[in-house]
Structure formats: C-alpha cells, structure tokens
Amino acid sequence: MTAFDYPVIRLRPKTDARAIRHGAPWVFADELVVDRRTRALAPGTICQLQDEARAPLGIVTVNPNSKIIARMLDRDPEAVIDHDWISLRLRRALALRERLFDAPFYRLVHAEADGFPGVVIDRFGDLAVIQPNAAWADLMIETLAEALAQVTGVQRIVKNGAGRARGLEGLPEEMTVLRGTIDGPIPVVMNGATYMADVMGGQKTGLFYDQRPNHAFAARLAPQGRVLDVFSHVGGFSLATLAGGAQTALAVDGSAPALDLARQGAAAMGCSDRFETRQGDAFAVMEALAAEGQRFDVVICDPPAFAPAKPALQAGLRAYERIARLAAPLVAEGGYLCLCSCSHAADLTAFRTASVRGIGRGGRRAQILHTGFAGPDHPMLPQLAESGYLKALFFRLD
C-alpha cells in the first residue's frame, strides 16, 4: 500500500482550505464533496484530501455516516497509515509522558492532540485501555494493540468500546480483552493516594487521570479539615485530601460499585477510619446534609458532563448553577469550594458565570483562588477547543 493507492476526496468549491492548512483536524459533511462514490466509502476508509483545485492537503480517515466526515491523520499527502506510522506516534506520546511522570500511570494518547483522531489510551502500569472512538481505529485495533505492546511493553490491553462518541460514529458498544488477562481492579498510586481502577466495568477507562493536578491543589487546602467530595466516583478528590492530611472525608456518589472501590482505596491507604461514603442522588444528598446542619472545610463537586454538546448547554448551565447553590451553604466560614465541569459545550466563561451565580443564590460571597485544567498528559490541540474540556474553579467563601 502506498499513499497513491488511497481514494481521493475533495473539499467543496468555495470551502476555505486555510483552516485545514493551519492545523484544523476536522472536515464537516457540508465542507466536502459528498457524491455517490464518497457515500459508498466504508466508515474508517483512509483517503487523500484535496482542495477544490486538486492540491493535496493530507491523509484523512473518512466516515460518511458522521457529521465529522473526515479527520486529519497526517498532513503529509504521501503518508501511509500502517504499523510503522502508529509506532512512531506512540513513541512520541510515550516520550512526553516519561518526561512528565515517574511511574507509568497516565493518559498515553489524548486523541487529536497526540495525532490519533478519536483515540484515547490510558496506561495503568503493564495494562493499557484503548478507546477507539473513531471508525478507522476500530478497524485497525489489532495493529494499534500490537504497536502499543511493542512500544510500551504493556502486557495487558483492553478495548473499551463504550460511550457516546462511538454512537456518533455509528460504532457498536463492546468491551474486549485484547491481550493478557484481567483479574480485578488495578491499584494506582497518585498524589500519595491509592485508587482502585475497574478497567472492565468502571466509568470511562476506570480512572480519571485528567483531574490529577486539581486533586493535588485540593489536598493543599484540606490539612486537618473536613472534606465533602460530591460525585466522587472512586474517591478522586476525597482520597487525595486524606493523603494530604485531611481529618475526615465523606464521598458521595450514585454508584455503589464506585463507592466500594473508593473504600478499597481508603483501606489500601490505611485511612478507612477517616473515610465515609454516602450513596444517593447528589442533589438530594446535599439538601439532606444542609438540613442536618453539616458544614465542611472543603467541598468539591465534580459532576458528569451536563452539557456534552450545544443542544444541552442551557440545561447544563442551570444544573451547574444548582450545584453551586446547594454546595455553597455546606462550606464552613472561610472554607473552600471546588466546582468542576468536563462539558465540551460549556466554556470557562459560561461555567464560571453559572457557578458564581449559584454561589450568590446560596447566600455566600466568594474569591476565586485558582482555575485548574486537565494535566499535561491531556495536551490541548490549539485548533480544537474541545480538547480543553476540563475546568476546575477553586473558591474561598466568606
């Protein structure tokens, strides 16, 4: 196979190709000539993209069933997407993470930002979880797994084919062990805390590496304090604050399995006596805690994405405002409130406005101490705002 064997697709007349030339990673369906031949291409087909004057722009992967009809793989129009190409990009991604982290626990591939459109790979020591959220990666999953094992030395590989992104690509949901065996949760030491990652049945890949620097900042606020961690998952913030010297931590989540993993993590840290959990709807639990007169020195709310896409933006912002309104009264005088959003559609300004409004409606005044984002193993592609999805606002409340 050479690059000249790839089918050719073209931008529509009058489509401005400068964005593609300047680094934009996506081509939308209304920007491409979608004729009968293009519509007949199988999802994941690799093509050469040309502008209307037939000048090559690069090698892309095409999915006629997706609104994002083409994703840029390589700006070299002669590139061949094969095992060697994948290995080279994996080595680049690995070199960055090995420079950043002392232990092999991190996001190894962050989709477009690492040159792998629609692909996420999280590493847990000798195990890696691949999320192939684009059709091309689903087709090349065995090649991707083979290159991953060779480049990193991981011995166990899981394909996590679940989630909203795959549905948008028309891909089925499936969970498969591609290499080795999985016999239980994976212990991950991060910021001095021990987390138990369920790579086969947990949320996403089993652990949220993106919050690592925000866990650390919260831990700096918590020594000798009482901590409330709402939407805690496996204890991300609460266990980090316990490792940082918090007196007690209460983790709240709707998932019993997630809270069980959080308790396992606390036990592994030797701090079960300082850790409590409460299962239930987060909004209802916060209302109940307020009715009980509970107050905490640090309150963290890290909910799921309430605004994953533009149609859900206004409802999502109302939900973030409600969280802030319910959380603010639970913060002790002079205490700290951390509010997080992983919504692509809600930018920092909109999220901050909703949060501040909610704090005010909760009867409190606030200072913004710090604005946190995802860690450096989640690099941001400058031309793709969606790759900078995570926001964490830290307030001190009067």
What does the pLDDT look like over 90-100, one tens digit per residue?
999 999 999 99
Compute the distance between CA of residue 218 and CA of residue 325 in angstroms, rounded to an integer: 20
Asked which of 3-17, 94-108, 132-146, 213-227 is least confident by mean pLDDT, the reply is: 3-17
Give mean pLDDT, residues 265-276: 98
The yes/no answer on whether domain 83-179 falls in CATH 3.30.365.10 is: no
Distances (CA, A) of 139 to 145, 155, 171, 311: 12, 21, 11, 30
- Chain position carrying tokens 């994405």: 305
| Average pLDDT of span 35-49 | 95
Query: Pseudo-torsion of CA 252, 255, 260, 266, nearest 10°?
Result: -30
Picking from 325, 359, 320, the residue whose alpha carbon sits closest to that of residue 343 is 320
Confidence of residue 74 (pLDDT cuts 50, 70, 90): very high
pLDDT at 169: 87
Instruction: Tell me what pLDDT residue 5 has.
Output: 87
CATH topology of domain 186-397: Rossmann fold (3.40.50)
Q: What is the pLDDT of residue 1?
A: 58
Distance, first Cα to last Cα, the chain: 66
The topology (CATH level 3) of 3-74 is 2.30.130
Residue ranges covered by each domain of the chain: 3-74, 83-179, 186-397
Biggest CA pair distance of the chain: 70
Question: What does pLDDT average to over the chain?
Answer: 95
pTM over 0.75: yes
